[in-house]
């Protein structure tokens, strides 16, 4: 034998020996690794298992009854709580619903022990093939564990606890009990929890009454509740429904004939009365949220599970009309304003609308980013020309905008030379709305508005709308501090009546100016609207025409400090309304609710009745646990102004509704008992209308959240008065006309105007800011450069100091005594 052969023969055993040693070492390594893993797993299990939650909440499942909020006429407007559901026992849930759920979510539910390892393998293989997460392997038990006890954060620790809790649930509860819990607590979109609640939300019927087709559609929702519910997207929900029906057929739950019948059945969406789907029977979100906040201050988080019922002062019919009035007012302004362009424009491939699946994916992405707002709907432009715009809402719903008036609103976006950010073209994301029989294209409004209505006898809030929609949850009725502009002038004029002026007092309307030395800052030279002036006007005419110069001179004569003290009687805050002359033009700060409360004092004869929203609260058994006790007009302790002042201001403001800046009121409503005042601030940042009858007060406001001009031609009469009118046409429809009533004691009418007993003709202030009679007679005209601050009773011209000394006595006093305050300055 050669040496090479011997060497080869010896090498073979050595190589084999080395391989065996490697395999043994490898086996020992992995065995050790496995043992370490087992030890670590055992340790982790030992530490985690005792920390798993007790299952008593599942075993003794008692759904917490939510907080529900109603109008005064018992219409549901809000529901708050962790669980909004209608609970059914397992045997009350129809078998067709159970079969649909198992087919859609977990067909091996009764075979596995909580984790479907076959499903895990199948999902892993499918995800590897597609290189994306196309399938999941979450079982019904795992979903129950997650929904009852665990957060939705995606961490390995949470997943580990989920697996352990899944095993614990399976070891403690029967399969039927687990499925029962799942069907009663899973979230199914539109604030519906459980299939019984979802059946009422989407089909308006009890769960036992649903058909196979409806059960399959409901069973398809849990995969993605926000996208697969039929209200959000019927086409996607239908696609998911067909998948569930196919699974039911393949698993033998239904026959091919039943499959065909269910597939062909039309789906009719109908929400049961009082369900939250797409909103409630009426839009009262702002009132419901405010009521929730008010009760929360008393009971904190306990309000969400104890079955409390709040009954508000809201009237459902008036509330819905207020909601529509605010939206119509905002949309009317949006049509008047220059079209700002689409929300954005995307690159939309040619012909993609012919591929329903791809086009639906594009629309889904857009509709996830931009939200519908009631009847203002998101769409994607397919083509745009000056005479027609084609917009897709879904692959099946294509709308055409051809109405000339609608196209005129967006004409600047259709012009050949339109700027890129304004141009409407293929791929533009826009909002469309059905306006009568025709469609229109609008941008989502950036302007906002608010409206509130009160009952002046006790301050009960009848309607409240805090904005265009409730998305931002910012209630402009209670939270927006804005300058009231000329809507504040009636309070200035009222203070003047109690200081000796009358509706016939003559006031200079000539231009007014304060120097920098007088203001301590910079010169102030206010203007009248339209920059028009008259030599003089009566106090009544000054308010009719809303003349700024007249208001300034009245406040200067009465005294800024007195005015500041006086307006606090109406509920306005001293700190937000400094004692300076710009306050005469409404340069302070109020909320719409405050302004409505202030006007209530005029409407009810001089009583301050703080607004309130909650009439009573009951517990789950219907027992009243809270009852409102509002201040009522007529209570002597609530009187804050002289009844004569209230009477005269009512008369003046009814005149404004006939022949002043709000002359449209009498023409449209044909009622002599309506009064009010428009308000427009500098550069039209805020537009107001505050109006009332003896039985109802309403305030409408419009402006931008970040103050900027509404437009040089926008005023309270044009922007906010229409909102007020839309509401009042309904609120006043069946109310009889209220007569003015007899003159209060101490008030007389002479020469067509009113005088207080302590300020009769000859003692009342005859003129403010005007020259003396002798000067008026000089050359038969008013001399130029007359003092802006003179005020005199008839027959004299003693100046402001002597005048106020003379008027210091007399007359009854109402409201809090004027408080001492340090002189204040503002930057003009």
For residue 140, what are its two tokens? Answer: 């019904």
> Which of 688, 617, 722 lies closest to 332, judged by CA?
722
Query: β-strands 309-312, 67-70: how paired?
Result: parallel
Supply φ then ψ for residue 346, to 5 degrees: -105, 165
Beta bridge partners, 767, equal 506, 792
* C-beta neighbour count of 487 within 10 angstroms: 32
Axis crossing angle, helix 489-497 with helix 592-603, rounded to the nearest 10: 40
- Structural contact between residues 534 and 519, judged by C-beta atoms closer than 8 angstroms: no
Rounded Cα–Cα distance for residues 237 and 217 (Å) = 6
Rounded Cα–Cα distance for residues 712 and 682 (Å) = 10
Task: Report helix, strand and coil shares of the chain as percent, to nearest 5.
Answer: 45, 15, 40
Contacts 24+ apart (CB under 8 A), 472-479: 473/289, 474/705, 475/286, 475/289, 475/290, 475/450, 476/448, 476/449, 476/450, 476/592, 476/701, 477/286, 477/450, 477/451, 477/452, 477/591, 477/592, 477/593, 478/290, 478/591, 478/592, 478/593, 479/591
Phi-psi region of 346 (alpha: psi -120 to 50; beta: other; left: phi over 0): beta
Burial profile 1-28: b = 16 or more Cβ within 10 angstroms, e = fewer: eeeeeeeeeeeeeeeeeeeeeeeeeeee
The tally of CA atoms less than 13 A away on the side-chain side of residue 669 is 33
* C-beta neighbour count of 54 within 10 angstroms: 10
Rounded Cα–Cα distance for residues 283 and 324 (Å) = 9
Active site residues: 105, 486
- Structural contact between residues 507 and 536, judged by C-beta atoms closer than 8 angstroms: yes
* C-beta neighbour count of 626 within 10 angstroms: 17
- Structural contact between residues 706 and 732, judged by C-beta atoms closer than 8 angstroms: no
Rounded Cα–Cα distance for residues 332 and 402 (Å) = 19
Rounded Cα–Cα distance for residues 230 and 151 (Å) = 27
Measure the CA angle with vertex 649, ends 645 and 652; round to 5°: 145
Rounded Cα–Cα distance for residues 442 and 744 (Å) = 53
- Segment holding 356, helix H or strand E: helix 356-369
Beta bridge partners, 65, equal 306
**What would the DSSP string read from start to end of 86-140?**
----GGGS-HHHHHHHHHHH-TTTTTSSSS-HHHHHHHHHHHHHHTS-------H
Supply φ then ψ for residue 431, to 5 degrees: -115, 140
């Amino acid at each position: 034998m050669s040496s090479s052969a011997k060497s080869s023969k010896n090498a073979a055993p050595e190589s084999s020996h080395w391989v065996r040693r490697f395999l043994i070492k490898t086996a020992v390594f992995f065995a050790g690794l496995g043992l370490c893993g087992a030890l670590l797993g055992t340790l982790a299990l030992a530490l985690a298992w005792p920390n798993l939650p007790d299952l008593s909440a599942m075993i003794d499942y008692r759904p917490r009854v939510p907080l529900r909020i109603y109008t005064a006429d018992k219409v549901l407007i809000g529901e708050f709580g962790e669980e909004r559901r209608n609970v059914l026992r397992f045997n009350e849930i129809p078998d067709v619903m159970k079969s649909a759920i198992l087919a859609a979510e977990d067909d091996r539910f009764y075979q596995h022990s909580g984790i479907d390892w076959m499903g895990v393998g199948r999902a892993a293989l499918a995800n590897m093939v597609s290189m994306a997460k196309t399938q999941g392997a979450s079982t019904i038990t795992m979903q129950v564990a997650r929904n009852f006890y665990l957060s939705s954060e995606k961490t390995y620790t949470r997943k580990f606890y989920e697996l352990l809790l899944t095993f614990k649930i399976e070891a403690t509860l029967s399969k039927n009990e687990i499925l029962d819990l799942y069907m009663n607590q899973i979230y199914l979109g539109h604030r519906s929890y459980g299939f019984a609640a979802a059946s009422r939300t989407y089909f308006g019927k009890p769960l036992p009454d649903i058909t196979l087709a409806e059960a399959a559609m409901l069973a398809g929702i849990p995969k993605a509740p926000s996208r697969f519910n039929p209200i959000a997207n019927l086409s996607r929900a239908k696609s998911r429904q067909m998948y569930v029906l196919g699974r039911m057929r393949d698993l033998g739950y239904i026959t091919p004939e039943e499959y065909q019948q269910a597939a062909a059945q039309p789906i009719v969406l109908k929400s049961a009365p009082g369900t939250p789907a797409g909103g409630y029977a009426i839009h009262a979100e702002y009132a419901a949220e405010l009521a929730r906040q008010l009760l929360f201050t008393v009971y904190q988080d306990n309000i969400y599970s104890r079955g409390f019922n709040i009954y508000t002062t809201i009237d459902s019919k008036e509330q819905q009309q207020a909601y529509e009035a605010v939206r119509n007012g905002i949309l009317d302004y949006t049509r008047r304003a220059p079209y700002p362009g689409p929300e954005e424009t995307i690159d939309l491939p040619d012909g993609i609308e012919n591929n329903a699946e791809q086009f639906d994916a594009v629309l889904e992405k857009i509709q996830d980013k931009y939200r519908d707002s009631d009847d203002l709907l998101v769409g994607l432009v397919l083509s745009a020309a000056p005479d027609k715009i084609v917009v897709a809402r879904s692959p099946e719903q294509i709308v055409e905008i051809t109405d000339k008036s609608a196209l005129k609103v967006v004409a600047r976006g259709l012009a050949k030379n339109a700027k890129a950010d304004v141009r409407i073209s293929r791929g533009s994301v826009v909002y469309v709305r059905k306006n009568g029989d025709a469609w229109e294209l609008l941008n989502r409004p950036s302007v906002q508005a608010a409206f509130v209505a009160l009952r002046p006898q006790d301050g009960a809030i009848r309607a409240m709308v805090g904005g265009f929609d409730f998305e931002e949850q910012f209630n402009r009725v209670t939270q927006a501090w804005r300058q009231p502009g000329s809507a504040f002038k009636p309070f200035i004029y009222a203070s003047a009546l109690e200081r000796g002026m009358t509706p016939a007092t003559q006031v200079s309307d000539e231009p007014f100016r304060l120097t920098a030395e007088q203001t301590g800052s910079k010169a102030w030279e206010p203007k009248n609207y339209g920059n028009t002036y008259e030599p003089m006007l009566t106090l009544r005419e000054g308010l009719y025409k809303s003349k700024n110069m007249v208001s300034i001179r009245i406040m200067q004569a009465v005294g800024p400090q007195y005015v500041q003290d006086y307006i606090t009687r109406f509920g306005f805050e001293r700190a937000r309304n400094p004692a300076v002359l710009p306050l005469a033009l409404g340069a302070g700060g109020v909320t719409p609710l405050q302004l409505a409360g202030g006007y209530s004092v005029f409407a009810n004869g001089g009583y301050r009745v703080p607004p309130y929203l909650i009439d009573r609260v009951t517990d789950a058994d219907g027992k009243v646990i809270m009852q409102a006790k509002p201040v009522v007009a007529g209570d002597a302790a609530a009187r804050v102004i002289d009844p004569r002042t209230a009477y005269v201001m009512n008369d003046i403001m009814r005149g404004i509704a006939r022949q002043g800046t709000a002359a449209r009121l009498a023409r449209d409503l044909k009622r002599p008992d309506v009064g009010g005042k428009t308000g427009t601030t500098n550069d039209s940042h805020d537009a107001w209308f505050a109006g009332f009858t003896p039985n109802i007060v309403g305030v409408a406001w419009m402006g931008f959240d970040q103050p900027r001009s509404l437009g040089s031609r926008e005023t309270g009469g044009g922007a906010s008065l229409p909102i007020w009118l839309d509401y009042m046409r309904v609120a006043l429809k069946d109310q009889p006309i209220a007569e003015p009533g007899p003159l209060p004691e101490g008030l007389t009418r002479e020469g067509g105007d009113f005088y207080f007993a302590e300020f009769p003709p000859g003692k009342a202030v005859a003129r403010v800011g005007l020259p003396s009679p002798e000067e008026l007679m000089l050359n038969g005209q008013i001399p130029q450069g007359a003092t802006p601050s003179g005020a005199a009773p008839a027959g004299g011209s003693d100046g402001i100091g002597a005048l106020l000394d003379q008027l210091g006595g007399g007359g009854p006093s109402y409201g809090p005594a004027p408080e001492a305050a340090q002189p204040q300055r503002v930057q003009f």
